Amino acid sequence: MRLRMTPDTALAHSIRQDLTQFAGILRTNGHNWDVMGLNSRFNPDNTLSLAQVKEYWRIFLAGKKTGDPAAKNIDFYVNIPFCRSICSYCHFHSSTPRKGEIGGYVDNLLWNFKFFSPVFKGFAFRNLYIGGGTPSLLSEHQLKQLLDGLFKNFSFSHTGQKTFESNPGSACSSHFRTLKEFGFTSVSFGVQSLRPSVLRLNNRHYKDSESVLTAIARAKKAGFGDINADLIAGLAGDDVDGFKQSFTRLSKFLPHNIVVYGLLPGNRYLAEKLKMSSSYYFTRYYPALIKKLLPFMREFSEKAGYTTDLLEPFKWHWGFRRHGQASPDPKTNYSGEHCVCVFGVGLFSMSSIPKILQYRQTMLPAKTNPSAKTHKARRYTPREAMLGFIINKFDQGSRISTAEFSQTFGITLDAAFPYALRALTFLKVLDRQPEFYVFNFARCEHKYIYTLFFFREQGHTVTDTARGPR
Ligand code: SF4
């Protein structure tokens, strides 16, 4: 006898098949459930030249997308891809500079500024972020040259933030004074841990908490009213108590913001430093660590006068801001937006033209040949832009504003992703509230697997497991 499938049994069957396939994808990905890695599933990379990139910005700014609020809020990012030593856990494309290399690099940036400035004539960028790498490795002279060139060629809004990323070991007072003269509003320190043994084991350039205290004091003395310090949870050699000590001590140095990042280790770091498998780290070690740290972070933020975003588990970053601190940390600000619009300059900088294109500069452009293909790019279809929106929201937490989605894309979430929402409702992991859809991720890997339902909707191939840059 043949059974007739009802719509519900057909749906259940399809969901079962999908779940099996998605679990396989996660397994192949080393159980790494970081949803931002799913960005790499979009179009295969194209290569673009500096001249082509310039043309995309020209078209964007010429008004083709002026209906998009993002067109009015473009941030500027400058990347300095050099560090004094390379941290063992580093994911970024940073290197120790050869003699004279930083000077040549600054020259190239200045040329880039001139090349692009005509496109942005009459336009004021919102925020400016100089990051890396370690921008504080620039000499005083190089920093002045860079900032002179930058502000001669581009305009910035008076209300935006201007942030400089600094390593506690190379932060000096003269840098801070120069930055102040150029109107910088905030400094961000990569502290990561205050335990000397952890810093040593991870090949951090600075080796003691004294450097952090001094660096923060210097920035305050120079007049910075917005100082951010980052910590990392999960570093080799650290443990729950060690992290708590770093967090508590750091708060006593009174930075205005603290951002805690969860460690996303590569295979080599897992094998050599953490000495555990990828599967163990992502499904057991990290979730257990965060489960222990969350109550502490909650209690800490209440007592120490910090406010925080939703302290949800199964995330990779949490921001803490001192009460009364007006401006948010730029990094959390950037990542908190669904349609980030960033113009990046410098080797390995990422740029994003909302709903159109995301690209990374992978080679230094030669001044003589702006037509050389120096950028890797991903062109978004409108549907991929929607997936990017969902990935960003899941990176931030577990809720999606239905109104924000509709306003951004001119279509409701239900109309755009009927199958995914039916499947997640069927699985009883979707709570439809008036303004938000709230997703219940009972285990860390659910976030990744449920996101794949949205990919499945679009008919995307879900077999590619390459991990994208964070
Ligand atoms: S300071 Fe940052 S960019 Fe430099 S090596 Fe360490 S992790 Fe990488």
In whole angstroms, give the CA distance from residue 232 to residue 256.
17
- Give the model's pLDDT for residue 4: 59
Encode pLDDT of 387-403 as tens digits.
Answer: 988 998 999 889 999 99
Instruction: Tell me which residue has tokens 């007072």.
Output: 173
Distance (angstroms) between ligand 1 centre and the Cα of 92 equals 7
Find the length of the chain: 470
Query: Long-range pairs for 176-179 at CB < 8 Å and ≥24 separation?
Result: 176/218, 176/219, 176/221, 176/222, 176/224, 177/222, 178/140, 178/143, 178/144, 178/147, 179/143, 179/147, 179/222
Whether 81 is in the pocket of ligand 1, judged by its Cβ within 6 Å, is: no
| Cis preceding-peptide flag for 133 (omega within 30 of 0) | yes
Encode pLDDT of 138-172 as tens digits.
Answer: 999 999 999 999 999 999 998 899 999 998 888 88
Whether the domain at 7-30+382-457 and the domain at 47-335 fall into the same CATH topology: no
DSSP state of 458: T
Encode pLDDT of 303-350 as tens digits.
Answer: 888 888 778 888 999 999 887 665 444 444 443 334 478 999 999 999
DSSP state of 402: H
Mutation to probe ligand 1, out of 82, 85, 90 (largest number of atoms < 8 A from CB): 90
In whole angstroms, give the CA distance from residue 382 to residue 354.
10
Token pair for residue 178?
């120069």
DSSP state of 430: E
Mutation to probe ligand 1, out of 82, 94, 230 (largest number of atoms < 8 A from CB): 94
Can you tell me which atom of ligand 1 is nearest the CA of 204? Answer: 6
Q: Write down the pTM of the prediction.
A: 0.88
Burial of residue 339, with CB atoms counted within 10 A of its CB: 0-12 exposed, 13-18 middle, 19 or more buried: buried
- Give the model's pLDDT for residue 107: 95
Q: Helix, strand or coil for residue 128?
A: strand
Whether 166 is in the pocket of ligand 1, judged by its Cβ within 6 Å, is: no
Q: Whose CA is nearest to atom 5 of ligand 1?
A: 86
In whole angstroms, give the CA distance from residue 343 to residue 329.
19
- Give the model's pLDDT for residue 67: 57
Whether 190 is in the pocket of ligand 1, judged by its Cβ within 6 Å, is: yes
Distance (angstroms) between ligand 1 centre and the Cα of 209 equals 18
258, 85 in Cβ contact below 8 A? no
- Give the model's pLDDT for residue 168: 87
Query: What element of type H or E holds 437?
Result: strand 436-439
- Give the model's pLDDT for residue 459: 55
Enumerate the H helices of 253-326 as residue ranges: 267-269, 278-280, 286-303
Bridge partner list, 93:
none
Q: Whose CA is nearest to atom 2 of ligand 1?
A: 133
Whether 87 is in the pocket of ligand 1, judged by its Cβ within 6 Å, is: yes
Distance (angstroms) between ligand 1 centre and the Cα of 60 equals 33
133, 347 in Cβ contact below 8 A? no
Q: Which fold has domain 47-335?
A: pyruvate-formate lyase- activating enzyme (3.80.30)
How do strand 46-49 and strand 373-379 relate by DSSP bridges? antiparallel
Q: Whose CA is nearest to atom 7 of ligand 1?
A: 90
The domain ranges of the chain are 7-30+382-457, 47-335
- Give the model's pLDDT for residue 324: 65
Positions of the chain with pLDDT lower than 50, given as ranges: 1, 327-339, 460-470
CB neighbour list of residue 23: distance below 8 Å, 6 or more residues apart: 449
Whether 192 is in the pocket of ligand 1, judged by its Cβ within 6 Å, is: no
Q: What is the CATH number assigned to the segment(s) 7-30+382-457? A: 1.10.10
Within its chain, how far is the Cα of 277 from the centroid?
A: 25
**What value does the CA radius of gyration of the chain take, rounded to a whole number of Å?**
23
Instruction: Tell me which residue has tokens 């949803």.
Output: 35
The DSSP-derived string for 36-52 is GGGGGGSSPPEEEEHHH
335, 396 in Cβ contact below 8 A? yes
